[in-house]
Amino acid sequence: MSENEELKKYIWMVKFLDENTQGYLYLYDMIQGKLYFTDKFCRKYPILCAGETGVSLEVWSEIVYPGDRKQLEINLEKIRQGLSKNHDIEYRLIDKEGNRVWIKCRGKVQNNAEGRPWLLLGSVEELQFEHKVDRLTGLWNYDKFMEDMENSLKQEDGYLLELGIDNFKKINVKNGWAFGDSILKMVAEVLENYAEHPMKLYRLSGDCFAVNFVRGKREDILKFYYAVQKKLKKYCALSAGAVEYRHESEVESRVVYQYMENTLDRAKHEGKNMLKFFSLEDYQAGMEQIVLLEELRTSAENKYKGFYLCYQPQVDSHDFSLYGAEALLRYESPSRGVISPVEFIPLLEQNGLIDIVGEWVLKTAALQCAEWRKSMPSFHMSVNISYEQLRKKNISEIVLKTLQEAGIPGEALTLEVTESMQLQDYPYFNRLFYEWRKYGIKIAIDDFGTGYSSLSYLKGIDVDETKIDRSFVSRIQYNAYNSKLLSNMIELAHSAQIRCAVREWKRKRN
């Protein structure tokens, strides 16, 4: 029997069996480059069934989703070269309605009399992946990502990359949800355009996407990210976090996922629109921050257990007599001991705890001031107050009530605001400060000289005192320029009728 006669026999067999098959049967003549389908397949998909003449692979590719054509081409080329006997691949077709349909395409190779790969006989099965496909973008979703990641960790080496659209909530608020959806679709399309086999793409949730670089290398991640970033820069910015995985590793998939999430968070926290690779040291530091935050919350809910105040003496520069003290917030962690304020105060500010903790500081410091005023009636207390506290509607009443309950006059209290707060609403704050001044409370700018607009502060905010940052004071006895600069800053404050204080002048000079 000739090859043509045998081919006709196979075509007849495909048509006969296809009517009683749930999926669709096909025949691919690799020597002639022709594909044969039945009428049943052509009723759903926009391809012209040409009977026994078949269609070219180019015609078939037109109904394959563009993002999947490359992997199909690679798979078929391996079969044509005799490197593989089986065809088993999942990809998407475009039906007559324009819908993307996930299929599993299987097939087995039949060699000709000369031993060359000749016919690929197989089936196309439509996959019921509604629960694993993101409806908006057509990418795989979180469930499929976790399933595939589990399999990859057992069999392959590679990288996972998570990408997040920066400030996506603001994009939605400014332009509407429909515009936000169009951005998500655009990102998905760009990812698919730059993806290469065997990379897999996913939309995890919200504005986050993931790429599984099976057998990928670090340079592949860099090349892919910067290409996508450049393509999308007119429309949105992307932060990304990448983590390497090894099939021989015993790390569980959920832990690898946490590594990836943490790395993306680090990219966003450190400035956004950047790619970061996983670092175990950074991850452990991040976990410490999470644990510390939980401890801070627990302490705040448990009558502020673990928080305490230290008091830094304030001395009159004329006669070096004790003037008062500044209340400094400190914290002792149950797991790590004493924590630096540089570490825990930003956590309080970023997570909505500084308001209640700041109020506790004010009350505790006021009570301590009242106690010390029993032996030193003129004793004075300085307390830091946060921007969040200042924006609170009833903050004026809270401060005045605290003084009343502690039994101390307003003259005994100075409230310090940090220059880095950027108090731009000058009229609001001046009205607030004026109300307090009526009761004798003084207002000071803390860390003066470190912000963006030191002079504008003196011009815009009505304050009684500036506290020059320690960076201007450190080692001034060894640096004539710093000494002169400090003198000028003090002179400037005095010329505006503002008292000036400096931190940690540890050495009395003759």
- pLDDT for 476 equals 65
- pLDDT for 506 equals 46
- pLDDT for 98 equals 86
| Whole-angstrom Cα Rg for the chain | 35
Across the beta sheet with 100-111, the strand order is: 55-56, 34-36, 24-29, 117-126, 100-111, 86-94
pLDDT score of 291 more than 50? yes
pLDDT score of 114 more than 50? yes
Cα 153 off chain centre by:
24
> 172-181, 192-201, 327-336: which range is least confident on average?
192-201
Q: For residue 35, give every residue at least 6 positions away whose Cβ sits within 8 Å of its Cβ, in sequence order, or none.
A: 26, 27, 28, 29, 54, 55, 56, 57, 59, 60
CA dist 158 → 22, 150, 198 (Å): 36, 13, 11
- Amino acid identity for residue 255 in this structure: V
What span, in angstroms and rounded, lies between the C-alpha atoms of 204 and 344? Answer: 32
CA atoms lying within 13 Å on the CB side of residue 205: 4
Long-range contacts of 245-251 (CB under 8 A, 24+ apart): 245/152, 245/153, 245/156, 245/157, 245/158, 245/159, 245/160, 246/157, 247/152, 247/153, 247/154, 247/155, 247/156, 247/157, 249/153, 251/153
Mean pLDDT to the nearest integer, 310-315: 94
> 136-140, 166-170, 337-341, 412-416: which range is least confident on average?
136-140
Q: Helix and strand tally (H, E) in the chain? A: 17, 19
Q: Which residue's structure tokens are 């500081």?
A: 361
Q: What size, in residues, is the chain?
A: 510
pLDDT score of 344 more than 90? yes
What span, in angstroms and rounded, lies between the C-alpha atoms of 42 and 344? Answer: 65
Do the beta carbons of residue 112 and residue 161 sit within 8 Å? no
- pLDDT for 26 equals 87
Burial environment of residue 488 by CB neighbours within 10 A (0 to 12, 13 to 18, 19 or more): exposed
CA dist 274 → 54, 191, 216, 239, 314 (Å): 50, 16, 20, 5, 45
CA-based max dimension of the chain: 117
pLDDT score of 450 more than 60? no
Asked if the peptide bond before residue 198 counts as cis, ω within 30 degrees of 0, the response is: yes
pLDDT in tens, 27-39: 898 988 888 888 8
Q: Please tell me which residue, 249 or 322, carries the higher pLDDT value.
A: 322
pLDDT in tens, 15-60: 767 776 778 888 898 988 888 888 888 888 988 765 567 888 888 8
- pLDDT for 31 equals 87
Q: For residue 409, give every residue at least 6 positions away whose Cβ sits within 8 Å of its Cβ, in sequence order, or none.
A: 403, 439, 440
Mean pLDDT to the nearest integer, 1-15: 73
Give the dihedral sign, CA 464/470/472/476: positive
> 109-123, 331-345, 480-494: which range is least confident on average?
480-494
Confidence of residue 452 (pLDDT cuts 50, 70, 90): very low
Q: For residue 216, give every residue at least 6 positions away whose Cβ sits within 8 Å of its Cβ, in sequence order, or none.
A: 158, 159, 199
What does pLDDT average to over the chain?
Answer: 87
Q: Please tell me which residue, 50 or 406, carries the higher pLDDT value.
A: 406
> 360-369, 399-408, 409-418: which range is least confident on average?
409-418
Confidence of residue 322 (pLDDT cuts 50, 70, 90): very high
Q: For a pLDDT cut of 70, what percent of the chain falls above it?
A: 86
pLDDT score of 510 more than 60? no
Q: Please tell me which residue, 313 or 429, carries the higher pLDDT value.
A: 313
pLDDT score of 453 more than 50? no
- Amino acid identity for residue 180 in this structure: G
pLDDT in tens, 146-174: 999 999 998 889 999 999 999 999 999 99
> 75-89, 208-222, 445-459: which range is least confident on average?
445-459
> 1-10, 289-298, 401-410, 435-444: which range is least confident on average?
1-10
pLDDT score of 460 more than 70? no
Confidence of residue 10 (pLDDT cuts 50, 70, 90): confident
Mean pLDDT to the nearest integer, 489-509: 63
pLDDT score of 470 more than 70? no
The model scores a pTM over 0.85: no
Confidence of residue 248 (pLDDT cuts 50, 70, 90): confident
Confidence of residue 276 (pLDDT cuts 50, 70, 90): very high
Mean pLDDT to the nearest integer, 426-449: 85
**What residue ranges in 52-157 does DSSP mark as E strands?**
55-56, 86-94, 100-111, 117-126
Question: What are the start-end ranges of the H helices in 36-141?
Answer: 39-44, 57-61, 69-80
Q: For residue 375, give every residue at least 6 positions away whose Cβ sits within 8 Å of its Cβ, in sequence order, or none.
A: none
Confidence of residue 508 (pLDDT cuts 50, 70, 90): very low
- pLDDT for 82 equals 86
- Domains in the chain, CATH or no CATH each: 3-128 (3.30.450.20), 131-278 (3.30.70.270), 296-502 (3.20.20.450)
Q: Please tell me which residue, 467 or 150, carries the higher pLDDT value.
A: 150
- pLDDT for 445 equals 82
- pLDDT for 438 equals 94
Do the beta carbons of residue 407 and residue 381 sit within 8 Å? no
Query: What would the two tokens of residue 427 be?
Result: 């009229």
Q: For residue 157, give every residue at least 6 positions away whose Cβ sits within 8 Å of its Cβ, in sequence order, or none.
A: 215, 244, 245, 246, 247
